Amino acid sequence: MRRFSQRNSLVTLSDINITPLLDLAFVLLIIFIITTPLLTQSLDLKLPKGGQREKAQLKKSDIRTVEISSTGFLKYEGHNATLDQIEKDLVRAHQANPKLVVYIRGDENVPYKFVAAVLNRCQRHGINQASLRTEFER
């Protein structure tokens, strides 16, 4: 009996246990699923109250969104941008798609000069369809 147990201890294990690897893969997958939406989050804006819902349905490809925080910080399509970068991209997009609509989401406490600057850049290049977004009253 003693010989058998000694012999058994000398045998090497040649199989790889993949259960811990699968557990790790599933944990990483869950982490990526949870954190991905947080990476593309827009600014935390408090939109002014009022306005009506749109009656015409627009295609997502016809809309560009500019967000302005209460401190004048700009985001374009979810990415940090300067006014000049936004202007260049809007001009390019308007040349490719004349039906382009610019959504301007400005915080209710943003100084009007920041909203006016975006509107001015749009009008300067013939982009006349701009929509100031508001929080709809229920």
Give the domains, in start order, of the chain with CATH numbers: 2-39 (no CATH), 60-132 (3.30.420.270)
Q: What is the pLDDT of residues 35-81, one digit of tens each?
A: 877 665 566 666 677 766 666 677 888 899 999 988 888 999 888 89
Contact 74, 82 (CB under 8 A): yes
pLDDT surpassing 60 at residue 6 = no
Distance in angstroms (rounded) separating the CA atoms of residues 107 and 61: 24
CA distance readout (Å), 102 to 23, 39, 68, 79, 115: 45, 23, 13, 15, 12
